[in-house]
Structure 1
Amino acid sequence: MTDGIEFARDGEIARLTLNRPEKLNAVSFDMWSAIPGIVAEVERDPSVTVLVLTGAGENFSAGADIGEFRELRSSAEGTATYDKAVEAAVNALASMRKPSVAMVRGHCIGGGCQLAVASDFRFAAEGARFGITPAKLGIVYHFDSTRQLVSLVGPANARYFLLSGLLVDAVRAREMGLVNEVVAADSLEESTLDFVRTLGSRSQASIRGMNRIIAKIVAGQAESDAKVAEIRAAAVHGEDYAEGVAAFLDRRPPRFTYR
């Protein structure tokens, strides 16, 4: 496994941990480069239903490792190579069919916030701080990441984050639409995993189909198309639909089998 990243499975839950606590889990080029492969492994594994993304120690991530920039982003070619690695990591997370949940404590800034925004859900501990800081570095933010941010928080709040580079606390981040839930720091793990287990109990055929349709909408698709119709038809003819209806009529919990 790449230095700075830990990957583990616990039953149906996979966990990707940014693990450089001495650097506030700053994301190195090698870490960016490793994320698409980990995401692909999660997508392939039929035993896994959800990916949890978190940071080791007291922080999620303080962002990209700026210490690498003088060497790796010192030329147009180097910048293009570095940016492709970042874009590949973000796009891999954002295009997952299986749901992803960012579990955030401490700093979630810059590239760290970029990864959290690319996840489907964000649970934050009280005291977490969020910010996206390209304006402090003379960088123009990635298009896809900007689109994801605008879709999540709206253009006014996206401008607030991107143009000011200011940090906001978890409560303000929730008010802006960036965060789904804010909980006490000592209950973050329990609250996040309770939600993750809820996702695991639902129809995975429904979850993955709806995630694909949501991604199309976020990308700008305005109307249904043949692919959307195909996704919906596959669900209707799948085993989860029959089980869900039967369970509802029998007044019992469903036992979904789609993996």
Structure 2
Amino acid sequence: MPGELRVDEPAEGVLRLTIANPAKRGALDHAILDGIAQALDGVERRARVVVLQGADGQFSSGYDIGDIPDDVFEVEAEKLVAHPFTAALDALEACDVPTVAALTGHTIGGGLELAVTCDFRVAGDGIRLGMPPARLGLVYSHTGLRRFIDTVGVPRTRELFLRGRYVDAREAHEWALVTEVVAPDEVESAALALAGELVANAPLSLSGNKRVIRELLAAQGELTTEVEEQLIALRRACFASEDFREGVRAFGERRPADWQGR
């Protein structure tokens, strides 16, 4: 059964998107990712703030690639990560209204990048956050790594992506990976309270300052076309590697991976 994105308006000016895929710990599939991109299309015409949250005490365990059959693994894994996930992230990043991630449970992999793409992140005390590419054999996208570098800096990005560190909400707050930590049962209400503060602010100021911040970040360290193409090819090659397939299986089976280096 595919997951679903629930859309509602819990308060005036607030659009809430809820990731619901309880059987797979909030895993991000085509239906959810396409739903995010569609819900954010023209959102500034009907909302002043967007809240993104999980359901059933979860946020998201990342890409839904664990059950892809071996014979189509390379194509389907890259298809999920490269298209609907990128479209959802781009829609979040381009959103002219403030975005708040309510981290109602563990926030892993692609789920964490979704959260990092939001302007604010309210986390429940006791949740864990992490990036498992090093344990999966995945070369992460250069655009994704840039988001983490912009948020927590190079040393912390290395901790997440090279060591495969998982951190709890309080340590994540020290890193600026989350902006606020509250009791687990207060995450949704705290996120809505923050959304209410944002709705009360001047909309032209919010959208204007968001654009300035976005443009300043984009102006730093632009890659040449040749280098960008090389990085994209490097990432694409990982989807065809034996190690990536083994890493995903081992991760799902909770066992050490048998890396082959190919």
Q: Same fold (TM over 0.5)?
A: yes
Correspondence for 1:131 = 130
Q: What SS does structure 2 have at the residue aligned with 1:67?
A: coil
1:24-45 CA-to-partner distances (Å, cap 9, x unmatched) read 1111123222221111142332
Alignment of 1:70-109 (within 5 A): 70=69, 74-75=73-74, 79-80=78-79, 82-109=81-108
Bigger radius of gyration among the two: 1
Large movers: runs of 4+ above 4 Å: none
Mapping of 1:1-259 within 5 angstroms?
Answer: 3-10=3-10, 11-45=12-46, 48-70=47-69, 74-75=73-74, 79-80=78-79, 82-221=81-220
8 Å CA contact 2:152, 2:175 repeated in 1: yes
- Using the size of structure 1 for normalisation, the TM-score is 0.79
Q: CA RMSD in A?
A: 2.0
Change beyond 3 A, Cα 1:135–1:192? same
**Secondary structure class of the residue paired with 1:5:** strand
- Which gives a bigger RCO, structure 1 or 2 (Cα 8 Å, sep 6+)? 2
Tell me, in whole angstroms, the C-alpha distance in 2 between the residues paired with 1:71 and 1:33.
24
Helix, strand or coil at the partner of 2:73: coil
Deviations 1:49-81 (A, max 9, x none): 100000001111111112244469633586256
CA apart distance, 1:190: 2.4
Structure 1 residues 80, 169: CA separation in 2 closer, same or farther (over 3 Å shift)?
same
CA contact (8 A) 1:60 1:112 kept: yes
State, as a whole percentage, how many aligned pairs show the same letter. 36
Within 2, Cα distance between the matches of 1:70 and 1:143? 27
Q: Is the 8 A contact 1:132 1:161 kept in 2?
A: yes
How far, CA to CA, are the matches of 1:201 and 1:219 in structure 2?
28
Asked if structure 1 preserves the Cα contact closer than 8 Å seen for 2:50 and 2:98, the reply is yes
Q: How far apart are the structure 1 equivalents of 2:101 and 2:39?
A: 15
Q: 1:108 to 1:63 in 2, by over 3 A?
A: same
- Contact 1:105/1:127 (<8 A) preserved: no
Cα gap change, 1:142 to 1:44, in 2 (>3 Å): farther
Cα pair distance change 1:35/1:63, threshold 3 Å: same
C-alpha distance in structure 1 between counterparts of 2:17 and 2:142, whole Å: 25
Unmatched 5+ residue regions in structure 1?
A: 223-259
Superposed CA offset, 1:129-177 (max 9, x none) = 1001111111111121111110000000011001122211000001111
What's the CA shift for 1:204?
0.4
Partner residue of 2:228? none
Q: TM-score by structure 2 length?
A: 0.78
Residue 6 of structure 2: SS of its match in structure 1? strand
Structure 2 unaligned segments of length 5 or more: list them.
222-262
Q: CA deviation at 1:192?
A: 1.7
